[in-house]
Amino acid sequence: MIEEYKDYCVLKACNLSAKQISEINSLSKKGIFIQASQDNLDATVVVINKSESEVDFQETLNKVKGIADGAIYADYDTSLEECVVKQATAKNLKVAVAESLTGGMVCASIVNISGASNVLYEGFVTYASSSKVRRLHVKSTTIDSFGAVSSETCQEMVQGLLANKEIQIGVATTGCAGPNKDEAGVDVGTVFVGVGSQDKIDVQQYKLDGNREAIRKSTTNIALFMLLNFVKNY
């Protein structure tokens, strides 16, 4: 139990690279124990001071934070969905979600947290291209020109959510989870996640590894991480 130590810190981060995980773990030394691990891009970093040196502990902790720059979302043991519900509730923000490859996993993650009703307004699983057109008003010409798995389609999915003025933030996911390329020839693990408001929409592309389940779970965590950062800066 880490609680038995006087000085320890648990950091939560998202989407650390294998190199970052390795660099963080390499900081372990006599008196300072570090363990960084990642499950579907949701990382937990434990730093324990087994020595008497507070200065050495803080210096090492600062090095860890420097390596994980921009990826850390909490300095205590929590989850992405817990942070999303907490932060969005504090700012009185309503969120809507449109999911393709994640098939409802983003919404389900949020609903797992008590107080989700303060945040989540609605969710759509628009798996088929025609559903994206009918339910979210994605232009059929956009899908024809760029494909269902594209930055352009993801952006229009977010825009479709934001047509409802009762919400402040829209989140969308689209991608190819495998095990084979999709009918348009999109590579497995190609994913687009979009988060936006009436003022701006941010769409990011990712190339994810793993099997179908891992890609879907990793996409869910990326969507929650992007949503959390968007809420923090709202």
Q: What is the pLDDT of residues 59-115, one digit of tens each?
A: 999 999 999 999 999 999 999 999 999 999 999 999 999 999 999 999 999 999 999
Supply 7's token pair. 């000085």
Residue 91 is classified by DSSP as T
With b meaning 16 or more CB within 10 Å and e meaning fewer, what string describes 77-88?
eebbbbbbbbbb
Burial class (CB in 10 A: 0-12, 13-18, 19+), 69: exposed
Q: What's the pLDDT score for residue 183?
A: 87
Model pTM score: 0.97
Residue 205 φ/ψ, nearest 5 degrees: -105, 140
Would you say residue 119 has pLDDT above 80? yes
Q: How many angstroms separate the CA atoms of 172 and 62, rounded?
A: 34
Q: How many angstroms separate the CA atoms of 215 and 2, rounded?
A: 31
User: Which residue stretches of 26-102 are H helix?
Assistant: 54-67, 80-90
The percentage of the chain sitting over the pLDDT mark of 70, rounded to a whole number, equals: 98
The CB-side HSE value for 88 (13 A sphere, CA atoms) comes to 31
Cβ neighbours, 10 Å, residue 43: 23
SS3 (DSSP) at 191: strand
At residue 130, what is the residue type? S
Q: What's the pLDDT score for residue 29?
A: 92
Q: How many angstroms separate the CA atoms of 75 and 132, rounded?
A: 38
- 43 and 13 in contact (C-beta within 8 Å)? yes
Q: What's the pLDDT score for residue 5?
A: 64
Question: Cα separations (Å) of 45 from 51, 82, 101?
Answer: 18, 18, 29
Would you say residue 3 has pLDDT above 70? no
Phi-psi region of 200 (alpha: psi -120 to 50; beta: other; left: phi over 0): beta
Q: How many angstroms separate the CA atoms of 229 and 148, rounded?
A: 25
4 pLDDT band (50/70/90 cuts)? low
Would you say residue 2 has pLDDT above 70? no
SS3 (DSSP) at 208: coil
Q: What's the pLDDT score for residue 53?
A: 85
Q: What's the pLDDT score for residue 52?
A: 78
Q: What is the pLDDT of residues 143-190, one digit of tens each?
A: 999 999 999 999 999 999 999 999 999 999 999 999 999 988 999 999
Would you say residue 1 has pLDDT above 60? no
